[in-house]
Structure 1
Amino acid sequence: MEDCLARKMEITVSEAEKRTGRNAMNMQETYTAYLIETRAVESQSEGQCAPVDSLWRRYSEFELLRNYLSVTYPHIVVPPLPEKRADFVWHKLSADNMDPDFVERRRIGLENFLLRVASHPVLCQDKIFYSFLTQEGAWKEVVNETGFQLKADSRLKALNATFRVKNPDKRFTELKHYSDELQSVISHLLRVRARVADRLYGVYKVHGNYGRVFSEWSAIEKEMGDGLQSAGHHMDVYAASIDDILEEEEHYADQLKEYLFYAEALRAVCRKHELMQYDLEMAAQDLTSKKQQCEELATGTVRTFSLKGMTSKLFGQETPEQRESKIKVLEEQIQEGEEQLKSKNLEGRDFVKSAWADIERFKEQKNHDLKEALISYAVMQISMCKKGIQVWTNAKECFSKM
């Protein structure tokens, strides 16, 4: 961790800007660009003020970077991006992806994504990631030249692997179930939070009605007027504070959303292991089949029904020379297949070792982050309730002085 990029470079996504341009179909579109600023830490420690490098990136470029990292490092739980469109929001908050409040929260999320990658012991060393932060012009060409799209596994192959693997690793199966449950629990929690926020918004705004009624009442009272007006003022201030409170609450919701999306990153690692296991089993099956063919040619006996066996019976047996030639080809294929199987076994063992090391790292990070977020959320709720008690305590004093 000492060599991670986050310790050598300050990384911020400092602002967002709405822009208009033309897309690949030559149609006009409106999009948001984000300003990434980086500054070397080393020159600061020497007493010099390092110059700030800055460049603009679109959300789609962040997506391209993450896709590249996911394909290039299949054994790593790659940090997720913030949501592209608002979800799990209380109804007073806009779900429009161009809404300034949503854009601001997404800016914070994109900065968090970059800091997560820059703090990762493996991902932080990636040259493409470094060029994403420092090279504005040719970055897309550089990432596309890696050919990472060709390494991406097809969905059909992934589906085959899910249903046709005969010996799935129990640990990865359990991890997949865990990630499903984690996603389900956090989704439910976010829905509950949105409903509570709606109700809370209503309660606070009703206090504004109290404020209006007390103010109107104060206008027709002489002795009680000052007390009623003061109480109404306290109610108005309380009612107006809800917007800031729920905006702060949305920040904690975003921290939970990050782990909602992390659940998919966990499943991606599980899927990659299934694909490797599927390839291994297919290679082993192919090797067994070739060995059987070789044995049948060598002994002249056919163990199982095959079209080849029927053809031999109908049109006569092959000559010894033909059989020897086929046996030789099969023996070469068997040798190649055994080497391939050995290689796939080694690759699989390395994958499991690397993946579990990163999953353990992820679990520690998750436990720490969720604990901090939930504690902060609880503290915020306690503070909010104390403010409510204080408002009514102040109102009580106003009434007592009447």
Structure 2
Amino acid sequence: MADSGSEEIAVIGNTDLTPSESENNLKNTMVEKGTNLLKRMEINVAEAEKRTGKNAVNMQETYTVYLIETRPVDAASEGTNPVPDSLWRRYSEFELLRNYLLVAYPFVVVPPLPEKRAEFVWHKLTADNMDPDFVERRRVGLENFLLRVASHQVLSNDKIFYSFLTEENGWKETVFETGFQAKADSRLKALNATFRVKNPDKRFAEMKHYGDELQSVISQLLRVRARAADRLYGVYKVHGNYGRVFSEWSAIEKEMGDGLQSAGHHMDAYAASVDDILEEEEHYADQLKEYLFYADAVRAVCRKHELTQFELEMAAQDLTSKKQQREELATGTVRTFSLKGMTSKLFGQETPEQREAKLKMLETQIEEGEELVKERNTECDEYVKSAWVDIERFKEQKDHDLREALISYAIMQISMCKKGIQVWNNAKECFSKM
């Protein structure tokens, strides 16, 4: 993947952090500037295991855990092969990690997790999240998630992520100590509030719209693929009927019997091969689903920019209002209707002392407002800079990944068609020898 920038970007634009938290964030980075964790550590999700235990409300439940193995890259280059460090994680812990990353790095298009339950599947494939085939595909997806994060210039440097990979006990407590949940709740309320940005950044507005369209297009593609898979399954299984009929026919023929029997075997093998073919297709469908979920991550970055811009505009509007109040108080002229103006007319003007005190208070508020606007401007500018660097990185990654996935899918379809032609060529040879 393309680099997303230098280590400083890990703090820039993170508007939920105080200066001291930002300083701690820099201290928490695990590798030197300009590198990512994947260059120093091999990471894989080696296997999945079903377990039974009691949940938070003391009820029995069955769940799946995944074995994460890590080892230093240096060991392989030095010719040694040490036993990898390993620990088990539940899917919910992967979710916790991603939720933390979303809050800690709002300007990053955070890689998505694989689906928790199967969607857009052909009807012969189970949607059971405990199905071994689905669990295996989810294992691959979880490994891909870790590799995405570990190769990201910013996310891979996070101490919490490093702890997730290396510390089996106490990791959750470390995450909760960051207070990210409170920040996530406050952000969610702000994002759900009804607000309208007066001067939206055209690039982010277009990117948000693109995220909507990308999700819509990939959803349609996955639905088409599921319907095509259903029909393909039916076509292949019908060839099993060819096999049965040819075999039954061979029993009543003397001269033609061997040829019909052989042709029937080819048809049976062809019919049975569809399960492996469609399972392979699911692999490519999962690659598309990753970008279906990536669309949400793109929109989240754009929404955070809207919120940052909105906070800037509200601060600027409040400052303008305070300055207008100061001018009205100083000149005694009320430009706009206000309750304050009506009160003055009904109950008389304020004394000079009262006016002086209010002017002094307004001056203090204006100074604070000017400082706030300056801070909001800096935050917004830095967020735009950091977020757009990561969006450009994401676009490069997306173009490469989807191009490769679609080419591989086309090659698989061509190979599948060639196998069908070969089956009928074999059948033709059998018929020719009768």
What does residue 121 of structure 1 align with? 153
What does residue 310 of structure 1 align with? 342
Contact (CA 8 Å) 1:39, 1:53: kept in 2 or not?
Answer: yes
Distance of aligned partners of 1:156 and 1:145 in 2 relative to their CA distance in 1, 3 Å threshold: closer
For residues 78-227 of structure 1, the aligned pairs below 5 Å read 78-152=110-184, 153-160=186-193, 163-227=195-259
Q: Of residues 28, 33, 41 in structure 1, which corresponds to 2:73?
A: 41
Q: What is the distance in 1 between the residues matched to 2:83 and 2:370?
A: 56
What does residue 369 of structure 1 align with? 401
The farther-off stretch of 291-300 and 220-229 is 291-300
What secondary structure is seen at the aligned counterpart in 2 of 1:168? coil
Q: What is the distance in 2 between the residues matched to 1:370 and 1:92?
A: 26
Correspondence 1:56 to 2:83: no
Q: What is the distance in 2 between the residues matched to 1:150 and 1:317?
A: 46
Q: What is the distance in 1 between the residues matched to 2:242 and 2:65?
A: 44
Q: What is the distance in 1 between the residues matched to 2:187 and 2:389?
A: 26
Contact (CA 8 Å) 1:41, 1:50: kept in 2 or not?
Answer: no
Q: What is the distance in 2 between the residues matched to 1:22 and 1:329?
A: 59
Contact (CA 8 Å) 1:68, 1:143: kept in 2 or not?
Answer: yes
Q: Of residues 99, 108, 111 in structure 2, which corresponds to 1:76?
A: 108
- Counterpart amino acid of residue 129 in structure 1: F
The farther-off stretch of 325-334 and 364-373 is 325-334
What does residue 28 of structure 1 align with? 60
What does residue 359 of structure 1 align with? 391
CA offset digits 1:324-351 (Å, max 9, x no partner): 1111111111111111101111111111
Correspondence 1:332 to 2:335: no
For residues 375-390 of structure 1, the aligned pairs below 5 Å read 375-390=407-422
CA offset digits 1:73-105 (Å, max 9, x no partner): 111100000111100000000011111111111
Q: 1:149 offset after TM fit, Å?
A: 1.7
What does residue 26 of structure 2 align with? none
The farther-off stretch of 137-146 and 318-327 is 318-327
- Counterpart amino acid of residue 157 in structure 1: A
What secondary structure is seen at the aligned counterpart in 2 of 1:38? strand
TM-score normalised according to structure 1 size: 0.97
Q: 1:21 offset after TM fit, Å?
A: 2.0
Contact (CA 8 Å) 1:183, 1:263: kept in 2 or not?
Answer: yes
CA offset digits 1:90-122 (Å, max 9, x no partner): 000001111111111111000000000000011
- Counterpart amino acid of residue 87 in structure 1: E
Q: What is the distance in 1 between the residues matched to 2:103 and 2:46?
A: 28
TM-score normalised according to structure 2 size: 0.90
Q: What is the distance in 1 between the residues matched to 2:65 and 2:193?
A: 39
What secondary structure is seen at the aligned counterpart in 2 of 1:15? strand
What does residue 21 of structure 2 align with? none
Q: Percent identity?
A: 81
Q: What is the distance in 1 between the residues matched to 2:360 and 2:146?
A: 55
What does residue 392 of structure 1 align with? 424
Contact (CA 8 Å) 1:179, 1:267: kept in 2 or not?
Answer: yes
- Counterpart amino acid of residue 301 in structure 1: T
Correspondence 1:241 to 2:273: yes
Q: 1:165 offset after TM fit, Å?
A: 1.1
What secondary structure is seen at the aligned counterpart in 2 of 1:164? coil
CA offset digits 1:21-71 (Å, max 9, x no partner): 222222222211111111111133223223311111111111111111111
Say what the alpha-carbon RMSD is for the aligned residues.
Answer: 1.2
Q: 1:156 offset after TM fit, Å?
A: 4.2
What does residue 306 of structure 2 align with? 274
What does residue 29 of structure 2 align with? none
Q: 1:311 offset after TM fit, Å?
A: 2.0
What secondary structure is seen at the aligned counterpart in 1 of 2:295? helix
Q: 1:159 offset after TM fit, Å?
A: 3.5
Q: What is the distance in 2 between the residues matched to 1:205 and 1:52?
A: 45
Q: What is the distance in 1 between the residues matched to 2:358 and 2:53?
A: 62
